[in-house]
Amino acid sequence: MNKPLISVKDLTVRFHTDEGLITAVDNVSFDIAPGEVLGLVGESGSGKSVTAKSLMQLNAGNTQYDEKSSIILNVDDQEIDVLSLKNDSELRIVRGGAISMIFQEPMASFAPAITIGDQMVEQLLIHSSMTKKEASEFSIEMLERVGIPDASQRFKQYAFEFSGGMRQRAMIAMALSTKPQLLIADEPTTALDVTIQAQVIDLMKDLVSEFGMGILFITHDLGVIAQTADRVAVMYLGNLIETGTVRQVIREPHHPYTLGLLNALPKLDDLEAPLTPVPGDIPSPLERPSGCVFHTRCPQNLGARCETEIPKLLKGAKNRMTACHLVEENGASKS
């Protein structure tokens, strides 16, 4: 019986703000198996970044995690309850050790006044028992591994001397040097040009097969997910509304939002097809709709039930999960 690498159950995250208590993530549960790439897809306000940061308790100080939420990390035959870790030294096992994270804006993640090499070595010295010399050599190897030419030269350079794509590669190198079990990638290719994005995606696919780590890949770009992920989870306004394998969800979406999202994308194989947006606007997190959060924009709104009752994430055929009353009723009527 394989234990999942990380198991998130009923994660609910709220923020104390001037405008009140905002729910950013509402009852989200998912598992990631070791070596699996899970894509977390959503638009603005979906809560995907907050979910990712919760795995390492990286959210801001005014965060409130619900008591029922739990995030269990299974590494080296240990079970670590991430949300119960209190101070920085306890969290250090998780942050950068078992779990590593790469971000959207690599310029913002590297300290501008320290060389890339020094930052990579610092991380290794914290998380491993290498000597400084060993750490330097290993870091240069990692830089080469991610395809940065003249790695030993680049090792001594500063972040601003790298181009966007190279910074992203350097960040991947830094994140992987501690051999994490889980890599969280928060929109890693969104800020990159499309030809560079393709290179970075290829790199990540190679590294996954080589290092065998699990990846939580967060993005709003369904095309990127289709090319990199094994499974995908779709989020909308803090709720997880559909999960399944990438083939299942993209070829045959069940939830009306997923379907709407796919229809809104311009597809290169049919240039004449009109672009159909999802009607309406994404509500602000301050005004989350009652019942199913998507009901205000759903073309299949069933009326009272969708407006008042929050749909549960129910298992369908072939391990797919969908949170939709319509899907539930159809499934019930089928069987």
Partner 1 sequence: MTDKTDIAANADQKSKDAYFTASQGQLIWTRFKKQKSAMVGAWVLVILILSGFFAPFLTPYDPTIDGRDKEYENGAPQIPSFCDDNGCSFRPFIYTYERERSLKTNFRWTTVIDTDKRRYLVFFTQGDEYTILGVKFSTHLFGVDSGKIHLFGTDSTGKDILSRTFHAINTSMAVGTIGVFIAFVLALIIGGLSGYYGGWLDSVIQMVTDAVRTVPAIPLFMALAAFIPSEWSAEARFFFISIILGFIGWPTLARRVRTHLLTERNQEYVLAAQLCGASGGHIIRRHLLPSFTSYIIVDLVISFPYMVLSETALSFIGLGLKDPVNSLGVMLQNVTKADVLLNYQWYFIPVIFFIVLVMAFVFVGDGLRDAADPYADTKK
Partner 2 sequence: MNKPLVSVKNLTVTYQIGHSFVGKNTYLNAVNDASISITKGSFYGLVGESGSGKTTLGRAILKAAPISKGSVHYDDGEVSYDLSAISKIELKDYRKRAQLIFQDPYAALSPRMTVRDIIAEPLEVMGITKTREETDKRVREIAQKCRLNLEHLRRFPHAFSGGQRQRISIARALVSGPQFIVADESVAALDVSIQADVLNLLKDIQREMGLTFLFISHDLSVVAHTCDHVAVMYLGRLVETAPTSQLFNSPKHPYTKALFSAIPSLDPDHDSQAQKLEGEIPSPTDPPPGCKFHTRCPFAEGICMTEEPKLEVADGEHEVSCHRWRELFNA
* Chosen from partner 1, partner 2, none, partner binding at 331 (C-beta under 5 to 8 Å by type): none
* Chosen from partner 2, partner 1, none, partner binding at 303 (C-beta under 5 to 8 Å by type): none
Q: Which positions lie near partner 2, rule CB under 8 A?
A: 43-44, 163-166, 193-199, 201-202, 220-224, 226-227, 246-247, 250, 260-262, 264-268, 271, 273-278, 281-282, 284
* Chosen from partner 1, partner 2, none, partner binding at 16 (C-beta under 5 to 8 Å by type): none
Q: Which of 10, 16, 44, 329 binds partner 1 (CB under 8 A)?
A: 44
Of 18 and 269, CB closest to partner 1: 18
Question: What's the closest the beta carbon of residue 107 comes to partner 2, in angstroms?
Answer: 13
Q: What share of the chain is helix, strand, coil (3-state, %, to 5)?
A: 35, 25, 40
| DSSP run (H or E) holding 71 | strand 70-75
Are 328 and 314 in contact by the 8 Å Cβ rule? The answer is: yes
Of 19 and 252, CB closest to partner 1: 19
Of 40 and 170, CB closest to partner 1: 40
Question: What's the closest the beta carbon of residue 44 comes to partner 1, in angstroms?
Answer: 5
Question: What's the closest the beta carbon of residue 48 comes to partner 2, in angstroms?
Answer: 12
Q: Does 284 bind partner 1 (CB under 8 A)?
A: yes
Q: Does 18 bind partner 1 (CB under 8 A)?
A: yes
Of 127 and 169, CB closest to partner 2: 169
Question: What's the closest the beta carbon of residue 59 comes to partner 2, in angstroms?
Answer: 22
Of 9 and 288, CB closest to partner 1: 288
Question: What's the closest the beta carbon of residue 16 comes to partner 1, in angstroms?
Answer: 13
Question: What is the C-alpha to C-alpha distance for residues 53 and 59, in angstroms, rounded to an integer?
Answer: 6
3-class DSSP state for residue 119? Answer: helix
H helix intervals, 47-188: 48-54, 88-91, 106-109, 116-127, 132-145, 151-154, 164-176
Of 127 and 145, CB closest to partner 2: 145
The single residue listed with the structure tokens 């779709």 is: 234
Buried b (16+ CB within 10 A) or exposed e, 44-69: ebbbbbbbbbbbbbbbeeebebbeeb
Question: What's the closest the beta carbon of residue 65 comes to partner 1, in angstroms?
Answer: 21
10 Ramachandran zone, left/alpha/beta (phi>0; psi -120 to 50): left
Give the list of residues 6+ apart from residue 118 with CB closer than 8 angstroms, or none: none
247's tokens:
């083939």
The single residue listed with the structure tokens 């009140």 is: 20
Question: What's the closest the beta carbon of residue 196 comes to partner 1, in angstroms?
Answer: 21
* Chosen from partner 2, partner 1, none, partner binding at 102 (C-beta under 5 to 8 Å by type): none
263's tokens:
């229809």
Of 127 and 231, CB closest to partner 2: 231
Of 129 and 195, CB closest to partner 2: 195
Neighbours of 182 (CB within 10 A): 23
* Chosen from partner 2, partner 1, none, partner binding at 18 (C-beta under 5 to 8 Å by type): partner 1
Buried b (16+ CB within 10 A) or exposed e, 97-128: bbbbbbbbbbeebbeeeebbbbbbbbbbeebe
Where along the sequence are the contacts to partner 1 (CB under 8 A)? 18, 44, 284
